[in-house]
Amino acid sequence: MIEAAARPPSSAPGVPASEATGYTHREVIIIYIGLLLGMMLGALDQTIVATALPTIVGEFGGLNHLSWVVTGYLLTSTASTLLYGKLGDLIGRKRMFQVAIVIFLLGSALSGLSQSMAQLIAFRAVQGLGAGGLMALAMAIIGDIVAPRERGRYQGYNGAVFGLASIGGPLLGGFFVDTLSWRWVFYINLPLGIGALILTSLWLRETTRRKHSQIDYAGAALMVGGVTSLLLVSTWAGSQYAWSSPQILGLLGAAVVLLTLFVLVERTAPEPILSLELFRNGVFNIGNVGSFAMGAAMLGSVVFLPLFLQLVTGASATNSGLLLMPLMLGAITASILAGRFVSATGRYKFFPVTGLSLELIAFLLLSTMTATTPQPMAAAYMVMLGIGMGMTMQVLTTAVQNAVDRRHLGTATSAMQFFRSMGGALGVAVYGSILNNRLAYYLSQLLPPGATPQGFSPADISGGPAEILSLPPAVRQAIIESFARALHVVFLASVPMVAIALIAALFLEERPLRSTSHLEAEGHSALAA
């Protein structure tokens, strides 16, 4: 059904990999740069927009719809991830990767041109529809052209992209808002995307072509409906609607019914969106458990650590972003070193086991921080957390790609990105509910009697550190201590999630890493025939 369409290899088995795949080493590097630019689009957009949101609300109004600027993007990007993976397997990953970039750039340009909050939310959803394919397809293409044994040499660059986006996104967004316009947080995507399109168009050749295949439209519709319902529950439950409200219970029921029907349809579909055959692969299962947990833990730290630094220690928004640098540097360094070790030895199980152990310890240590915790000590905790993340994320992707057939490469890679996104969305929602619940509890215990108006709630604290510092000393200290204790519980809530991933990693099967890429293997088979 799917046949190789790459340029026939020019040499027999035993020749350098670049010749066996039809690519020179220089071409692989150029293609990789194009893929990194595409990945940067998705990674940067998750961090750069947050800085501009207060200014956008000031221009458009609609504060009650502000969360949908993020939620609309999250819904469409998560729901479309598996679709891109499967269509990449069927139609071709280069083609679908470029389609994803074009959709993302269209959404970016329209978002920058928005004249109302409703338009911005709609165009952000278009942007998310493109973002769903950026990460998954880039990683799958890397799986095509770089052998698992050699992939570790490159994975540090992947970590650097996420680190640069996490640190540089808020700073760049602040610069645009202060000196140009908030619209430039969207326009900046255009040169990056055009660069990715040019590099992949000129050097990347399509690796698959569709002869005849039946797209699983029913499975796609059920999957999108079920995932959307689940994400809406995670977004609305405990904030806009009570957990026991008809809206939340109805969405939960819809998610259960739609996802159950999705599984039933996938059992008989000729070309399922998510092949159930993959779940018989132990490495695939453990990789997705780890991805789900990592998504929740990573977003939990990246979202709530700045909150702790700003509200408890009094750091400014810009400084809180800079204070996260130890975490990102730890992640990048560990990713590079782990990748080189995996390439040199072919062994990889040690890294997720050790990395998740470090993460577990780091979250326990983070839960002990107070307003008086010395900055070097807090930085050491964040370095430990970053090292754990760097040792785990890319290595799990390599292990899964090594363990699946090429016909499932795109689906398996997109599944990992899908579960990571779901973990992040559900994790942040749960952690947010925990924070609000515990904050209300501690405020009721610590605030001096009669110090606040009747009916005061945590939502009334909206001005950040500046507002808190302007309060009377007794009230200020009570609020800071309440935030510190509530965030302790949030960090502790990450521990069982990481522990589940660690237990799963202990059972990870360490298969020999292939020293040939999928394209090399196909080329050698064609030559042998």
296 is a domain residue = yes
Q: Cα separation of 482 and 489, whole Å?
A: 11
Q: What is the CATH number of the domain that holds 488?
A: 1.20.1250.20
Read off φ and ψ for residue 323, nearest 5 degrees.
Answer: -70, -15
Structure pTM? Answer: 0.76
Q: Which among 319, 322, 303 has a CA at the least distance from the CA of 167? A: 322
CA dist 145 and 32 (Å) reads 9
Q: Look up tokens 């074009």; give the residue.
A: 102
Last residue of a domain, one of 269, 304, 332: 269
204 and 134 share a domain?
yes
In a shared domain, residues 356 and 497: yes
Burial class (CB in 10 A: 0-12, 13-18, 19+), 380: middle
SS3 381: helix
The domain boundary, picked from 231, 246, 269, lies at: 269
Q: Is residue 178 part of a domain?
A: yes
Q: Which of 229-233, 257-261, 377-381 shows the highest mean pLDDT?
A: 257-261
Q: Please give the single-letter amino acid code of residue 427.
A: G
Contact yes or no for 311/464 (Cβ under 8 A) = yes
d(CA 213, CA 88): 12
Distance between CA 166 and CA 163 in Å, rounded?
5
Which residue, 402, 391, 383, 357, is CA-closest to 504? 357
pLDDT band at 169 (very low <50, low <70, confident <90, very high): confident
Average model confidence (pLDDT) for the chain? 78
Burial (CB count <10 Å: 0-12, 13-18, 19+), residue 463:
exposed
What is the rounded CA–CA span in Å between residue 130 and residue 189?
Answer: 12
Of the candidates 284, 257, 516, 233, the one whose C-alpha atom is nearest the C-alpha of residue 408 is 284
Q: Is residue 64 part of a domain?
A: yes
Share of the chain above pLDDT 90, in %: 11
Does residue 226 sit in the same domain as residue 249?
yes
Q: In the structure, what pLDDT confidence band is assigned to residue 105 with cuts at 50, 70 and 90? A: very high
114 and 252 co-located in one domain: no
Q: How far is CA 464 from the centre of its chain?
A: 27
348 vs 257: CA distance, rounded Å: 38
Tell me the mean pLDDT in the region 443-466. 60
Domain annotation covers residue 5? no
Q: Tell me, what amino acid is at 255?
A: A
Same domain, 276 and 377: yes
In this structure, the answer to whether residues 203 and 69 fall within a common structural domain is: yes
Same domain, 130 and 194: yes
| Domain total in the chain | 2
Long-range contacts (CB closer than 8 Å, 24 or more residues apart) made by 11-20: 12/524, 12/527, 13/524, 13/527, 13/528, 17/147, 17/150, 17/516, 17/517, 17/520, 20/516, 20/519, 20/520, 20/523, 20/524
pLDDT attached to residue 291: 87
Residue 361 scores a pLDDT above 90: yes
Q: Give the per-residue pLDDT at 261.
A: 93
Q: Which of 269, 285, 309 is the last residue of a domain?
A: 269
CA distances (Å), origin 514, targets 4, 149, 151, 204, 403:
19, 6, 10, 22, 9
Rounded CA separation 511/113 (Å): 50
List the structure tokens of 118: 């409703």
Same domain, 329 and 319: yes
- Asked whether residue 129 falls in the same domain as residue 233, the answer is no
pLDDT of residue 80: 86
Residue 205 lies in a domain: yes
- Considering the domain architecture, whether residues 90 and 223 belong to the same structural domain is answered as no
Q: What is the mean pLDDT of residues 223-246?
A: 81
Range of the domain at 263: 217-269
Q: Is the dihedral of CA 104, 320, 36, 411 positive or negative?
A: negative
C-beta of residue 141 within 8 angstroms of C-beta of residue 96: no
Q: Are 87 and 96 in contact (CB under 8 A)?
A: yes
Give φ, ψ of 225 to 5 degrees: -65, -45
Report the alpha-carbon distance of residue 127 to residue 166 in Å, rounded.
19
Q: Based on the fold, state whether residues 168 and 205 are members of the same structural domain.
A: yes
2 domain-assigned? no
Within a domain: residue 174? Answer: yes
Does residue 57 surpass a pLDDT of 80?
A: no
Q: Is the pLDDT of residue 110 over 90?
A: yes
Residues whose CB is less than 8 angstroms from the CB of residue 269 and which lie 6 or more positions away in sequence, other chains included: 214, 216, 218, 219
Q: With helix as H, strand as E and coil as C, how does 140-168 read? A: HHHHHHCCHHHHHHHHHHHHHHHHHHHHH
Averaged pLDDT, 344-352: 86
CA dihedral sign of residues 236, 500, 418, 249? negative
Q: Do 289 and 226 share a structural domain?
A: no
